[in-house]
Structure formats: C-alpha cells, structure tokens
A and B are shown apart, each in its own frame.
Chain A
Amino acid sequence: MFPIVHARQLSDAVFEMGVHAPAIAKKAKAGQFLMLRIDEDGERIPLTFSDWSAEEGWIRFIFMRVGKTTHKLSNLGVGDSLADVVGPLGVPTHVEDMGRVVVVGGGVGTAVAYPVARAMCAAGAEVTVIVGARNADLVILEDEFRALPLKELIVTTDDGSAGRKDLVTAPLKELCEAGAVDHAMAIGPVIMMKFCAATTREYKVPTVVSLNPIMVDGTGMCGACRCTVDGETKFGCVDGPDFDGHAVDFEELMSRQRVYSDDERLADAEYDRECRCHS
C-alpha cells in the first residue's frame, strides 16, 4: 500500500496528490510517469510526476477529474492509501543542450511542463514557458513557475480572465517568427499539441510532444499504447511518452483515446450516483 501524504485541490477539476514511495522518488526524472491502481477493483492509470523528493521519499502528481478513476482519486485524501504505484516509467525528457527553449503547457499538461521546465533550467537552458488554460481559475502552478529562473512566463486564457486572451499557439508563433527559440516542447491535450507542432513546423523548430495514449501495464507488455510516429508503430510507454511532434499521427491518437469513452461515461455516472446515495 502507498499512503497518501499530500492532497490539494488546484481548481474545480484539477487536484494535486503526494504519495509515500521512496524507491520511486529516488529514481524519478522529469517527463517520466507512474501507473497507479486505487484498489482491488481499480483500473491502472498513468499519471506524470509533477514533483518528487528523494530525501523525503515522496512523489507528486497532478490530475484532472475526467472519469471514474480520477473521480475516485479526487475523493481520497491524506490518511488514505493507494493499492499500487509503479514507476518511474517511460524515457525521461531530454533536457540537456536545449539552448533557447519554449515549453508549452496546456490545461493539466502544465503539471508535466513544470518539472520539465525546472530540469531544463537546471541544465542551463534559456527557458520560456507558455501556460494556457480556458480561464483564470484553471491556471495552475503559476507561483511555482515564477520561482524558476525563466526567461519569461506567458499566460494565455481563452476568455482573457488571466494573461493574454489567446491560444497558446499565438505567442508560440511570435517566438518562432522572431527566431527566439531553438527547441520547443508541448504538453497538454492532443489537439493543443497538434496545433503547437503545426505552428513550429513552419519555422523548422524541433518540437517534442508528450503523448498520452491509453495504457494498461505501462511496461511494454500489452501494446495498448501504440502510436504512429513517422509511419512506424511505437509503444508510448516504453518508446515514449516523448516523441517528435512533427512526425506523430495525432488523428490516430485522438481516435484511439476514444475506444472506451461510452463505457467510461457509464461507469463514472454510476459511480457518481453511488457517491450521492452515500452522502
């Protein structure tokens, strides 16, 4: 069992959680993820590390409540435990020799962008961060980003309630146009990553995206996570999750994420009903 040692709500549907897992905390690197299972009947789901402490033996992740598992997870707090936490999985994000780099975080992807930006700063890169959200309430980790030695932090919202009223691609385009970046990294909803990659392609700025296909084991055993990159099938969990954004088949990824949508909606609705009955 993995005791929950930290729990905090960041916005309406976004939560931060910390778990005691010393062996994993010792090895975690930016861009890697874990698989967790809440209880005996639970599903295994992947979540990216948002932070960790090898000394204190904890890891943290930030998740958005989208379905039954993340819903159940959002109802847990300090004192509860998770049945299983496995990691660190996936290839760490490449952070060395990035020169001038722009890191784009959209929605809950911002949680993944944070440790990546931090690691790139530590590796001596000149880092610009663009954080995008639908509105001011959904902007997360702003203070944490401000504490990093960034070149610039740009916040965009769809409705202008915080920062610029724009999509993340607008400032990204400006930076590319100005020739101000050597590398880009985009982490967030697939549609956002797709448009970021389309934006940077024009300027030939190498762009890495962090893919989030559906997974089962997270260790290369099942192939649920296959993605097409450069016409070749790759396993997201062991070959990724980072891939060349200019070579990824985003349409396929979006389609594959929907395999269980109907089932999942049903399960979550039922869980929701149960919760209401009990409270």
Chain B
Amino acid sequence: MSLVDDTATPAPEKPRHRPARIPRTPMPERDAAKRAKDFEEVTLGYTEEMARAEASRCLQCKNPTCIEGCPVNIDIKSFIGEMINGDYHAAVAVLKERNALPAVCGRVCPQEEQCEAQCVLAKKGESVAIGRLERWLGDFDLACELEGRCVPVVGEDTGKRVAVVGSGPAGLACAGELRRFGHAVTIFESLHATGGVLTYGIPEFRLPKHIVQAEVGLLEEMGVEIVCDVVVGATYTIDELMAEEGFDAVFVGNGAGLPMFMGIPGENLNGVYSANEFLTRANLMRAYDFPKVDTPIWRGRKVAVVGGGNVAMDAARTAKRLGAEEVFLVYRRTADEMPARKEEVHHAQEEGVEFKMLCSPVEVLGKDGWVTGIVANTMELGEPDASGRRAPVCVMGADFTIDCDTVIMALGTRANPLLPKTTPDMELSKRGYIVADENGATSKPGVYAGGDIVTGSATVILAMGAGKRAARAMDEWLMGTAR
C-alpha cells in the first residue's frame, strides 16, 4: 500500500489463514477382513469436509520445506492455499503444472519419505497429509465433466512428429508435455493395454484402473495417438521409426521389466512365479475372473512371497485375495529395512499376511514337479552396507523349511535388452540401462529416455518427472530454441 496517496482504496486483503490445531485427519479404509476378499480399493479417500479440515492444518509456511521433498517440486503450499480458499480448480491447476497424474501419485507416492517427511509438522509426527489432499484433488478433477476438467491447452502445430515408446508414467507424462508444445505425438505400447506398471503391476485395490484409463483418455482428447501391440525393437526399430515412419525424435520410456530370480535350485518348479507374472495374470489379464476370462492363474493355499518392496506387498495381498489361506512374506532383513511403503506394510499385516523376517531362501523344494516348500537360512543383521542399511548375514546351521505350494519371487527387475539390442548406437550402462543426461538425452541424436529404463526400478513420480523434463529438452532440440 502506498504511503503517499492515502486516498487510494486498499486492495481487499485476504483473511489471514489461521492453521487449525487439529490432529492429522485419518483416511477412511475398508474393513480388513472384508477387503482381503475382493479387489476393490482399500482406502476410500477423504470427503470434501475432511479434505478442507486437513488443508486447514497447513501453516502456509514462509519457507515451505515440503516442496523440496517432492521430486518434481510441486508448489504444495500454493495448492493447499487454493484449497483453503475453496478454489479447487485453481488447486488442480497448481498440481498439474508439475504432475500430470495427481490421482495416481496421491495414491502411490511414498509421501512419508518425500514431501510429508519435509513438512515442518513432521517433527511432531503430524505432517500435513499432502498425498491424501493431492489424491482428493485428483479425484475431484476426474469427477468433473470434461469441460470442467483441467485440460491442458495444446500448442500450435509445429509440424514435428515424436514417437514415445511405452505408456507407463514416463511415456504418458512425456507425451502430454510434448503435445502441449504442439508436436504430433504417437505412443507405441507393446502390451494390449496402456499404463505400464500402473496397469499390469499395481493392483486394482491400490490403484483402480479406471483412474489410469481416464488419464490416458485425457491424452487422447489432447490429440495424442496411442498404438498398442507394437514392440519397438521388434515391430519397428528406433532407426526405422526415424528413417521410415517419419518421426523427428523418439522418447524411450520402456521401463525395467525383466524379472529377477534367485538362481537357487527348484526355482522352475510349477507354482513358482515371478511377481511380474503373478501380478500380470491377476491385473492385466484379470485371471481372478477365470473361467469367465480365459487366462488362468494357479491359486495356491499356502503362498510364500520373497522380497520386501511394494511389489512383494502387492503380490502377497493379491494372493490373499485369490483365496490363499496363508501368505508368508519372506524377507532377509527386518520389517524396518523393508523398502515398501509403511502404509502398504501396515495394510498387508492387517489383511493377515504373515511376516517371516531375517530369512533367505536357499532352495525351493518340490514333488512331482510342483512346489512343496522352501528351505531358508536364518539371517542376522551385521555391519551397514553400501546402502547404509545393516547387511543381513547368514547364521550357520540354522536353516529351516517353510511349507507352501506357491512361491512368488519379488526380487526386483532389470533392463529388458530387447529394444537396446536393435539400437546398437545408443549407449548403455554396465547393467544394461540406457545412459541419459539430466534432460534425458541419450548418446543417439534425437533419442531421449527416462523412467525406470534409465534409473532402474524407482517410483511413479520420478518416472513422470523424467518424462516431462525430457519433453522440454526434446522441444528445444526440435525447435532449435528454448521456450
């Protein structure tokens, strides 16, 4: 306000935000016994009232540390600020500046380690439920009629064509951003459905598929062409896309989809699955509906899942829902070291998944070709290793047997060599991942990459961030100038 001209009417000042001193708003969830029998979503999401109440807890800090915790630096303070004002459309717009899929990330981001860990209220263990607010806004946006939705504006046609390989979070984010710049975009997906891990890996009860499909529908609305059933590296090589099919640039977001096994005896017995196969049959192929749908799945009664990440939790909880009486989670460290999200670990325990910690399988036992159990070593925690976690070491002579008829290996994934093999001039790391700079540029001109295929298995938000960053670099490369 001017001190000189005191006749001027002061701009109406917003009422100062007074943070509510209430505890963190819990998220309604379905009863564990009931939900463990079906594939419907476990958490129900906030109501509008709950969302407003939770938003009102935010201090609207001068120095909002939460933002640094988000890998794509969403302006968390502003979006919550808009919620406090009751302008949900504006709040969605703030989210979408950085994150094309808020309804997805609000559900699956490891918020407790990212944005929420950096919230100033976290010290008291009462950080603002940023992820749940994001989910609520994402769902609000999806529920709006298309006109009401925050549909990104498509830029003027540039005459450039870009091919995007893979329709996982990296590919989807990249395609959306490229389209906003006005480039013609075609996504090539090897499976018959879009979404990548969001569709074939993460189960319906954690991320309903209609949400993923709505986001893909929005991209189509923006004019992105999506072609399924095309394996780049087989149906077309990258060189063919650029030389024969008329694409000026290519983004590779093909994920890290090759499942790892332990290399122990008995691993190829019937009843041993990779988590990828088990989850693909259950999610993508909807085998839980067999024989109404044509893809079968072996429904074990006693299931051992090996691993401690999100993938292991998803496999264990899916096995429960397919009717297993007992599901064991076999992990070589302790529950504290598990890389899975705390919330998912908690949900799995509630649903009756039994944790067998500090044990590592050394052999899968079988009879007549089928699994009958696993032999596991007892482990103890030793000195911290390179990852900073205490490394499990084997306790000699303390192996034991776990009876089971199904084993699911959730040990992580590696890079699939199918595409790189046909692109010899694209540099790879020693472990087969694509080498790309911070903008996603690979060693091959016009070819960019991002997501799990560059970083190794990571997170949805990191893959999306990489896709988006690459899109900006590609735009600059295509147009010869920065915007």
- A222 to B290 alpha-carbon distance, docked (Å): 19
Interface window among B21-29, B92-100, B253-261: B253-261
Judged by a CB distance under 8 angstroms, whether A258 is at the interface is yes
Q: Which of B271-296 contact A (CB under 8 A)?
A: 271, 273-274, 276-277, 280-281, 285-286, 289-296
* Min C-beta distance of B331 to chain A, whole Å: 20
Judged by a CB distance under 8 angstroms, whether B476 is at the interface is no
Given A68-B294, A266-B291, verify A222-B274 contact (CB < 8 Å). yes
Judged by a CB distance under 8 angstroms, whether A252 is at the interface is yes
Judged by a CB distance under 8 angstroms, whether B263 is at the interface is yes
Place the interface of chain B in its size category. Answer: 35 or more
A239 closest partner in B (C-beta): B417
Judged by a CB distance under 8 angstroms, whether A206 is at the interface is no
A37 closest partner in B (C-beta): B192
Given A228-B268, A233-B261, verify A220-B418 contact (CB < 8 Å). yes
Judged by a CB distance under 8 angstroms, whether B416 is at the interface is yes
Most chain A CB neighbours (cut-off 10 Å) among B190, B235, B276, B294: B294
Supplied contacts A223-B273, A255-B270, 15 more A-B pairs, CB within 8 Å: A23-B230, A27-B234, A41-B292, A69-B294, A83-B192, A220-B257, A221-B200, A221-B257, A221-B259, A222-B276, A226-B261, A238-B416, A238-B418, A260-B298, A266-B291
Judged by a CB distance under 8 angstroms, whether B369 is at the interface is yes
User: Would you call B267 and A233 a contact (CB within 8 A)?
Assistant: yes
Over the window 248-264 of chain A, the binary record of Cβ atoms lying under 8 Å from chain B Cβ atoms (1 yes, 0 no) is 00001001101110011
- A43 to B291 alpha-carbon distance, docked (Å): 11
A-B pairs with beta carbons under 8 Å apart, 30 shown = A41-B286, A41-B289, A41-B292, A41-B294, A68-B291, A68-B294, A84-B192, A86-B192, A87-B231, A87-B234, A88-B235, A89-B234, A216-B277, A216-B285, A217-B280, A219-B234, A220-B417, A220-B418, A221-B276, A221-B280, A222-B274, A223-B273, A226-B261, A233-B263, A233-B267, A255-B270, A256-B369, A263-B291, A264-B296, A266-B291
User: Would you call B229 and A84 a contact (CB within 8 A)?
Assistant: yes
Q: Which residues of B contact A226 (CB under 8 A)?
A: 261, 268
Judged by a CB distance under 8 angstroms, whether A101 is at the interface is no
User: Would you call A84 and B290 a contact (CB within 8 A)?
Assistant: no
Judged by a CB distance under 8 angstroms, whether A85 is at the interface is yes
Q: Which residues of B contact A263 (CB under 8 A)?
A: 290-291, 296
User: Would you call B416 and A221 a contact (CB within 8 A)?
Assistant: yes
Judged by a CB distance under 8 angstroms, whether A270 is at the interface is yes
User: Would you call B268 and A23 a contact (CB within 8 A)?
Assistant: no
Q: Which residues of B contact A220 (CB under 8 A)?
A: 257-258, 416-418
Judged by a CB distance under 8 angstroms, whether B228 is at the interface is yes
**Chief secondary structure at chain A's binding surface:** mixed
Other-chain residue from B258, B277, B294, B417 in contact with A42 (beta carbon distance below 8 A): B294
Q: Which residues of B contact A120 (CB under 8 A)?
A: none
User: Would you call B190 and A219 a contact (CB within 8 A)?
Assistant: yes
**Chief secondary structure at chain B's binding surface:** loop
Most chain B CB neighbours (cut-off 10 Å) among A83, A219, A255: A219
Chain A interface, number of residues (Cβ within 8 angstroms): 41
Q: Which residues of B contact A259 (CB under 8 A)?
A: 270-271, 298
Q: Which residues of B contact A216 (CB under 8 A)?
A: 277, 280-281, 285, 295
Judged by a CB distance under 8 angstroms, whether A193 is at the interface is no
Judged by a CB distance under 8 angstroms, whether B191 is at the interface is yes
Q: Which residues of A contact B294 (CB under 8 A)?
A: 41-43, 68-69, 267
- A221 to B285 alpha-carbon distance, docked (Å): 14
Judged by a CB distance under 8 angstroms, whether B181 is at the interface is no
Q: Which residues of A contact B190 (CB under 8 A)?
A: 86, 217, 219
Q: Which residues of B contact A118 (CB under 8 A)?
A: none
Over the window 211-254 of chain B, the binary record of Cβ atoms lying under 8 Å from chain A Cβ atoms (1 yes, 0 no) is 00000000000000000111100111000000000000000000
Q: Which residues of A contact B230 (CB under 8 A)?
A: 23, 86
Judged by a CB distance under 8 angstroms, whether A154 is at the interface is no
Q: Which residues of B contact A42 (CB under 8 A)?
A: 293-294
Q: Which residues of B contact A256 (CB under 8 A)?
A: 268, 270, 369
